[in-house]
Amino acid sequence: MLQGKKILLGVCGSIAAYKSALLTRLLVKQGAEVQVLLTADAKHFITPLTLSTLSRKPVYSDFFHSTDGTWNNHVELGLWADAMVIAPASANTLAKMANGICDNLLLATYLSARCPVFFAPAMDLDMYRHPSTTGNIESLLSYGNKLINAEDGELASGLSGVGRMAEPEHIVQHLEEHFTKTQRLAGKKVLITAGPTHEAIDPVRFIGNHSTGKMGFALAERFASQGATVEVVSGPSTLSSTHAAIHVTKVHSAEEMLEACEAKFDNVDIAVFAAAVADYRPDTPAQEKIKKSNNTLTLHLVKNPDIAATLGKRKKKQFTVGFALETTNEIAYAKEKLHKKNFNLIVLNSLKDQGAGFAHDTNKITILDHDGSSTFDLKSKQEVANDIVDVVCKKMGL
């Protein structure tokens, strides 16, 4: 259940911080991507080197790197994660979380997080049952945070009672149960086309476009995070995926992409045509490199197959989503494609919107269906993927 999940692990100043090493190891072993955030006091109990080695990522503690002045962006961290886990959560940090105090990177990230936040308290039994602590926990629960109860046992003070941080294995179990319940697309199969196609002119030249595949692969990650099994048919792109639920088939031309999609289409529940497929290809590619001899070169182009339209004619149960990148009459052209290609939804990009289109890390979209349209703000492509998947799930009643 944790394969490919992005987990923020916040570690506070508590003797239980030593357990964060095992927790990090267990999460990574389950296939999660773990970014550790340490408070200043936590570094007295466990070293950043230990946690960076186990997480395979730099550990963040400060807002700025002292060496080069670069910023650890708490907003991006909060948007990146599928879940945030604060373990151990000290009494001090619980109080700050409950009252909106924001004096370190961990707390700033907590206030920015849009994902579910789990907290696992760790403190002596009298601190744990103090009215101020129980009141802070009640406040955090009222905000929608999720408590992983402290456990009963011997404490660092030598006393015995409730206050021990939950064992790492139990915290992992809480996360697995959460993601099992929230995976709306469990058992569904999704086909996604991504990237450009390259249509050969000769062995070294081709007709193509500036698509990178970022949007298609962001969608693949999001569908997989919701429990789907995803087949990506990608044109030439540097992108790939290590998610166990994502299988990538690499192709070059539109004809190759169509052939790969036809082999998979009948067995999927959802198909998303995010690739920027070349409309035309050279009729007869040269077998040898074309030498520069004249001032002009004439190419005879023929129309490529329309992959989305071809599969739209044979769809049965599939929920299909198309993409339209337009420069003029955007809404009208998108509506025409929606009907012509038998889509359930179409995602419109306009090259007129700054920060949208090919090669950007951001995108601005309008989603149209047969009942109307919704326009979204400029967002990262990961956030755009979240919006698209949410709309698909709602339209499918999931």
- 331-374 pLDDT, tens per residue? 999 999 999 999 999 999 877 777 666 656 788 899 999 999 99
Record the tokens describing residue 313, joined without a space. Answer: 């004619």
| Cβ pair 130, 101 in contact under 8 A | no
**Is 1 part of a structural domain of the chain?**
no
Kindly state whether residues 84 and 45 are assigned to the same domain.
yes
Asked if pLDDT for residue 66 goes beyond 80, the answer is: no
pTM score over 0.85: no
Domain that holds residue 120: 6-182
- Angle in degrees, CA 163, 169, 172, rounded to 5: 100
pLDDT at 214: 92
Closest of 384, 314, 313 to residue 348, by C-alpha: 384
**Is 170 part of a structural domain of the chain?**
yes
**Domain's final residue, options 113, 148, 182:** 182
Kindly state whether residues 160 and 206 are assigned to the same domain.
no
How many structural domains does the chain have?
2
Q: What percent of the chain has pLDDT over 90?
A: 76
**Is 303 part of a structural domain of the chain?**
yes
Closest of 376, 386, 337 to residue 356, by C-alpha: 376
pLDDT in tens, 114-171: 899 999 999 999 999 999 999 999 999 999 999 999 999 988 889 899 999 999 999 9
**Domain's final residue, options 182, 205, 237:** 182
* Own/partner long-range contacts of 107-111 (Cβ < 8 Å, ≥24 apart): 108/63, 108/74, 109/8, 109/10, 109/37, 109/74, 109/77, 109/78, 109/84, 110/10, 110/78, 110/84, 110/86, 111/74, 111/78
Q: 125: burial class by Cβ within 10 Å (0-12, 13-18, 19+)?
A: middle
Q: Beta strands 366-369 and 372-375: pairing type?
A: antiparallel
pLDDT at 55: 96
Kindly state whether residues 146 and 240 are assigned to the same domain.
no
Q: Which of 219-223, 266-270, 327-331, 383-387 has the highest mean pLDDT?
A: 266-270
Instruction: Quickly tell me which residue has 């959460």 as its tokens.
Output: 178
Within its chain, how far is the Cα of 65 from the centroid? 26
Helix ranges (DSSP H) in 68-182: 74-80, 91-99, 105-112, 125-128, 131-142, 168-182
Q: What percent of the chain has pLDDT over 70?
A: 97
The CA distance from 190 to 32, in Å, is 22
Kindly state whether residues 56 and 168 are assigned to the same domain.
yes
pLDDT in tens, 246-266: 999 999 999 999 999 999 999
Q: What is the CATH number of the domain that holds 25?
A: 3.40.50.1950
Kindly state whether residues 137 and 193 are assigned to the same domain.
no
Kindly state whether residues 193 and 158 are assigned to the same domain.
no
Asked if pLDDT for residue 26 goes beyond 90, the answer is: yes
Kindly state whether residues 330 and 214 are assigned to the same domain.
yes
Kindly state whether residues 237 and 154 are assigned to the same domain.
no
Closest of 356, 316, 350, 308 to residue 333, by C-alpha: 350
Q: What is the CATH number of the domain that holds 357?
A: 3.40.50.10300
The CA distance from 78 to 7, in Å, is 10
Instruction: Quickly tell me which residue has 């670069």 as its tokens.
Output: 70
Kindly state whether residues 198 and 147 are assigned to the same domain.
no
Radius of gyration over every alpha carbon of the chain, rounded to an integer in angstroms? 25
Within its chain, how far is the Cα of 338 from the centroid? 26
pLDDT at 355: 62
The CA distance from 61 to 346, in Å, is 42
pLDDT in tens, 195-206: 999 999 999 999
Kindly state whether residues 283 and 155 are assigned to the same domain.
no
Kindly state whether residues 155 and 193 are assigned to the same domain.
no
Question: Which residues contribute to the annotated binding site for CTP?
Answer: 279, 289, 323, 337, 341
Task: Provide mean pLDDT across the span 375-391.
Answer: 89
Q: Which residues are catalytic?
A: 209
The CA distance from 372 to 2, in Å, is 36
Please give the residue that has the higher pLDDT: either 273 or 383: 273
Strand, helix or coil for residue 244? coil
Asked if pLDDT for residue 1 goes beyond 80, the answer is: no
Q: 182: burial class by Cβ within 10 Å (0-12, 13-18, 19+)?
A: middle
Distances (CA, A) of 42 to 15, 107, 171: 9, 14, 19
Kindly state whether residues 130 and 149 are assigned to the same domain.
yes
Strand, helix or coil for residue 87? strand
Asked if pLDDT for residue 94 goes beyond 90, the answer is: yes
CB atoms within 10 A of CB 259: 14
